[in-house]
Structure 1
């Protein structure tokens, strides 16, 4: 007996792997070779393409397509109708196939807001937050808050999800961070949790 839930309107192709406690709701398609971890939640109208890798505890809201080349680590949140791409120069007449796809890696606990777009070939750092409607065109540092078109960093975010104040202090959980450098970003230095 399966230890995950698939709504009767959804399709799971042979060869897909789905972890315990995962819930797949209305009108989803999980394609062959997809690997989905434990305790995930997929809203309605989700497509998970061939060979996509998804960690544990991931939440994907309605109307998201996870194309081949996308990897989501544990506890990533994908907001409604956000978009991943996997080809920088697509042409209907000249398809490249999976060998031409660029990888996109979303590190653990990252959040991508509603209607945001992640252009392929980039890594989104752990605990980062991509604002609703933003268009990511470069790598994102851990804990970075990104907004705009193209997305640019406008602040830092605590691991609990709250925007840090100008002193890199979290007003919700009390965690204090320190700035390391422009390539590494920030690090936790105590307080809170």
Structure 2
């Protein structure tokens, strides 16, 4: 199901995926099965989204992002792919970021380029992730740090 107001330019979309109002998906993107892409999202060309992924409203997925299966991305989470952004810099090094299977990224979290969020890890709302998050860890704060149990 693709909402009539969405601008979806890729045909690489799995069965059962829903793309809601005012989303833009560029032609090079690949989206798996049974995903839910909520309203007001943007997905750039070099992005791969696995199966059963939920992307809440207001999220932009930039080139170099790999989202594995069963990932949750909360509203207004922010991803980056350039460590030294400058206006008009087309030759920047795009650093790949990976969200491994089953991880969750909380609302308003910021994920800096080139990091890996491990399997079933949780990034708390508003956290700023500057380095890799181990499998199963929960991180919070700015900069994000592992929450001790």
Q: Under a length normalisation based on structure 2, what TM-score does the superposition of the two structures give?
A: 0.97
Cα RMSD for the two superposed structures: 1.0
Q: Which residue of 1 aligns with 2:123?
A: 130
Shift of 1:30: 0.7
Question: What is the aligned counterpart of 2:40 among 41, 45, 57?
Answer: 45
- 1:1-193 correspondence runs (5 A): 5-13=1-9, 15-96=10-91, 100-155=93-148, 166=149
Shift of 1:94: 2.6
Shift of 1:51: 1.8
Conserved 8 A contact 1:128-1:141: yes
Q: Which has the higher contact order (CA 8 A, sep 6+)?
A: 2
Shift of 1:26: 0.5
Structure 1 or 2, whichever has the larger Rg, is 1
Conserved 8 A contact 1:104-1:120: yes
Question: What is the aligned residue count?
Answer: 149
Q: Which residue of 2 aligns with 1:191?
A: none
Greater CA deviation, 84-93 or 130-139? 84-93
User: Which runs of 5 or more residues in structure 2 are unaligned?
Assistant: none
Conserved 8 A contact 1:16-1:31: no
4+ residue runs over 3 A deviation: none
